[in-house]
Amino acid sequence: MQMSCGKIDCTLPIIPWGKYCELHRKKAKRCAEPGCIRNARDRYNHCKRHNGGVRCIEPNCKNSAVDKYDKCKRHFGGKRCIASGCTKSSRGKSDHCVLHGGCRCVEPGCTKSVQGKSDRCISHNGGNRCTVVGCKTSSRFKNGKCDRHGGGVRCPNCIDWIDSRGGDSKYDGYCATCFKRIFPEDPRSTVIYKHSKEIRVRNAITETSQQNHLFKGFIHDRPLYTGNCDCTHRRRVDHRKLIGNTMIAVETDEHAHRGYDEKDEEIRYDDLYMIHSGKWIFIRFNPDNTKDEKTDIEDRISVLLDVMEEQMERVAREENQELVEIIKLFY
């Protein structure tokens, strides 16, 4: 931010809303309102705030008129939609309002608005896209990447992890998972604890372990490390338990991870296999309703526990022969 006068060799402070100091300020006409240092609008004696410039001609209206029109937007000034009987403003360079197709995606049959300076909506790759090859998600902020590929503000606790999460201002810049682990006594952690679907799954596993020994020993949301290395392959699994040479991995995929890149998911499986080269059984659990099926989350968790028990019994009997098995529930 410029704090000193724009004139060469002048170090005096600038005036508010200006580029120069009081001594060198431009000889523009000032607002006639006592104490106001803003410029007067055009040929008028007052600035815009003090009703300078072209005003709306509607009686008792103090708003500025729009562009070359003699009324403000509220009183239908500016460019209007050309649809018969419509009085709304047209959007952008189009001749129609949003309701009548102004600034709509050019994709056939799409009725969504365009994104940014493109002629398509987000669903049809409009706006700024993630720079990672093959990713079709919108980029976040100025670094050119989506949230999944490191765009936006990252959590300072897991920023160096390959599967780092975005930071949230509600949790002082941390992701919800790291915040509740680092600050368990904070009142906000209690809210996270009550409402997180992943936590509800963890609680169900813990409660079931009191009656069923098969559920004992599950590790919740801890990174896996590649031994004797710089840990560049560390990954997190929501819930995991090693039985013999088989890792049981339970993942809570909210909204079935819609929008996640399938190639990235495959890379994640490969990374996890590098860490533990034994057998894997992934149980991918969607806690949210789909269009075709509406089920209470407690009923879904009950089904998940039954599937977990079935798979752990299979492993105990050494019936699992595949190196990697993926079971998807409620997808």
The Cα–Cα gap between 171 and 46 comes to 46
Establish if 319 belongs to a structural domain: yes
- Residue ending a domain, among 126, 144, 163, is 126
HEC profile for 232-293? CCCEEEEEEEEECCEEEEEEECHHHHCCCCHHHHHHHHHHHHHHCCCEEEEEEECCCCCCCC
pTM, rounded to two decimals: 0.51
Establish if 269 belongs to a structural domain: yes
Q: Are residue 325 and residue 215 in the same domain, yes or no?
A: yes
Q: Are residue 106 and residue 212 in the same domain, yes or no?
A: no
Check: CB of residue 329 under 8 Å from CB of residue 285: yes
Place of tokens 């028990």: 309
Nearest Cα residue to 49 out of 60, 59, 28, 35? 35
The pair of structure tokens assigned to 107 is 């994709």
**Nearest 5°: CA angle at 255, between 122 and 159?**
75
Range of the domain at 117: 79-126
Per-residue pLDDT tens, the chain, 331 aa: give them.
Answer: 446 676 667 777 666 556 667 666 655 577 888 888 777 776 677 787 777 777 788 888 877 777 677 778 777 777 778 888 887 877 767 777 877 777 778 788 887 877 767 777 877 777 777 877 777 777 766 667 776 676 777 788 877 776 677 788 888 888 888 888 888 888 888 777 655 788 889 999 999 999 999 999 999 888 776 555 554 556 778 899 999 999 999 998 876 666 565 666 777 777 787 778 889 999 999 988 877 777 888 899 999 999 999 999 999 999 999 999 999 998 8
DSSP-derived pairing of the beta strands 219-224 and 235-243: antiparallel
Q: Are residue 114 and residue 200 in the same domain, yes or no?
A: no
**Is residue 303 helix, strand or coil?**
helix
Number of domains, the chain: 2
Establish if 207 belongs to a structural domain: yes
Tell me the CATH number at 244. 3.40.1350
Contacts of 305 (CB under 8 A, 6+ apart): 204, 205, 208, 215
Q: Are residue 92 and residue 215 in the same domain, yes or no?
A: no
The pair of structure tokens assigned to 102 is 């102004």
